[in-house]
Structure 1
Amino acid sequence: MKKISNLLKLDFMIIKPYITFIHLFIFLAVTLYTSYSNASPISSIILILMFTMLYASYPFAIVDQNGVDSLYTIFGLNKKDVIKGRYAFLLAINILGATIGIAISFILSMIFKTEFILKEVLIITISTILALSTTQFIQYPILFKNGYLKSKATPYLPFAIVGLIVISGELLFKDQTLIFINKVTQFFVFNPILGAFGVLIIWLVLLFISYRTSYKYYIRREF
């Protein structure tokens, strides 16, 4: 556990120089503008989580560019520790993004004088984290297998595919998509515990598959 904690701290130290004031200003400006335009403070949570998601691959990129992988052994970290630490980093930045997003949403609710419904906020936050992290579960094994530089744009294909599916569904099957969304929403409304349990099980299975695949690939890499 201590090794994972050390690697988690190391990953945050690695990306710290790249979290610049300009980046933060742009992210905040886009979030505030979008939330104001839609008069929807809760949308800030989704946007912030999407922005923090961009940093999920930063440790891979920086480590690959500087050849840090081979130096992990100096800190007493083996490949298994690296994989666990990287998934812990993924969870940590999602939680950090959710915390910042909720705080901004609360502040905007007071400014717009709209009701801040905690239950609704938590549902949106958890749903967004589950959806985005699932996409990252596809991304991580690719990065562990080839590294960031060799993978190039490949790790971002899952995001493009998901976006394409969503856009295609809205354009080609708009009515059917709305009917499907309504059915899913009704199911969760009338079966919240069962629905949440089912989603959690699926998420955990995907996490396990992603972790095992990453382990299989990374353990074979030579530095």
Structure 2
Amino acid sequence: MDIKKQIKLDIISMKPYYTLKNLIIPLGIVLIYSYINKSPFVMLSMTLSFAVIFSTFPFLLGENSGIDGLYKIFSIDSKKVVIGRYILAGFIFIFANLIGFSIYIIISLIKNMPVGLDMSMLIGINFIIYSVIISFQYPMFFKYGYTKAKTFGYLPILIIGILGMVIGAFIKDFGPILKFVEENESMIVIGLVILIVIFLTISIKLSINFYKKRDF
């Protein structure tokens, strides 16, 4: 079975959970919070949260339905399974942000607010955070399974949240930081892209090794 078919199988297993009933609550929460705030940018952090949650579904459903075990029983290449899950995580991120961006446009029009051109930067920040979280979570899920790893899997989210609060408490004026970012934008973007590629590469290699050795 190739990677494309494996991704389709994961999507099919997740499909029953992506019903209007299950999606209406998170969509409603995002809409309400985006509307009551002065800027709908708050929905970006919520979009990221939902993307991270949904990215764990293939492991949850694969474990509960026994699909992961079947992959091993039928000697499906572990490398293909791992790469397929990472590609699917990318699709989930894109889908979540498309919905988030659509909501942002709708709320901006309703509240007669200009559509910020820095939206791409904010989505880029979301992608960096998402990649870091995925790079930490996925090797643990492949090694221990969703049930055993889920508690520690959300550790990076907690750490990022704490770091955000600490930075916000100690740095009162972000002006100099923003100025530095603007003056060195290209260098920073290139550096971050390199780091993300390194994180994901290490994460994928670890996941492949863990999944090969895992007993079901």
Under a length normalisation based on structure 1, what TM-score does the superposition of the two structures give?
0.88
**Counterparts in 2 of 1:75 and 1:123: CA distance versus 1, 3 Å:** farther
3-state SS, counterpart of residue 153 of structure 1: helix
Number of matched pairs: 216
Tell me which amino acid in the other structure corresponds to 1:205.
I
C-alpha deviations, 1:142-168, integer Å up to 9, x for none?
A: 101101122241212221222233234
- The 2-side partners of 1:40 and 1:167 are apart by 20
Q: Which residue of 1 aligns with 2:154?
A: 156
Shift in alpha-carbon separation, 1:143–1:183, aligned structure 2, 3 A: farther
| Correspondence 1:93-108 to 2 at 5 A | 93-108=92-107
1:199 aligns with 2:192: yes
Q: Are the counterparts in 2 of residues 46 and 101 from structure 1 also a CA contact under 8 Å? A: no
Moved more, 29-38 or 199-208: 29-38
Matches of 1:212 and 1:185, distance apart in 2? 35
One-letter code aligned to 1:154:
F
> Tell me, which stretches of 5 or more residues in structure 2 are unaligned?
none
Q: CA deviation at 1:78?
A: 1.2
Superposition pairs for residues 1-223 of structure 1, below 5 Å?
3-72=2-71, 77-117=76-116, 119-170=117-168, 174=169, 176-179=170-173, 181-223=174-216
- Superposition RMSD in Å: 2.0
The offset of 1:73, in angstroms, is 5.7
Q: Distance in 1 between matches of 2:202 and 2:4?
A: 23
Q: Deviation per CA, 1:87-119, whole angstroms, max 9, x where unpaired?
A: 0011110011111111111111111111113x3
Shift of 1:77: 3.1
On the 8 A contact 1:187/1:195 being kept in 2, the answer is no
1:22-70 deviation digits (Å, cap 9, x = unpaired): 3312111211121122121233233223212211111111111222123
Deviation at 1:19, TM superposition (A): 2.1
Which range moves more in the overlay, 145-154 or 201-210? Answer: 145-154
1:169 positional shift: 4.0
Q: Which moved more, 1:68-77 or 1:202-211?
A: 68-77
Give the letter for the 1:187 counterpart: F
Q: Which amino acid aligns with 1:99?
A: L
Q: In the aligned structure 2, how far is the partner of 1:152 from the partner of 1:54?
A: 11
* 8 A Cα contact 2:51 2:92, kept in partner: yes
TM-score by length of 2: 0.91
Unmatched segments (≥5 aa) in structure 1? none
Cα distance change, pair 216–178 in 1 and its aligned pair in 2 (3 A): farther
- The 3 A distance-change label for structure 1 pair 152 and 53 is closer
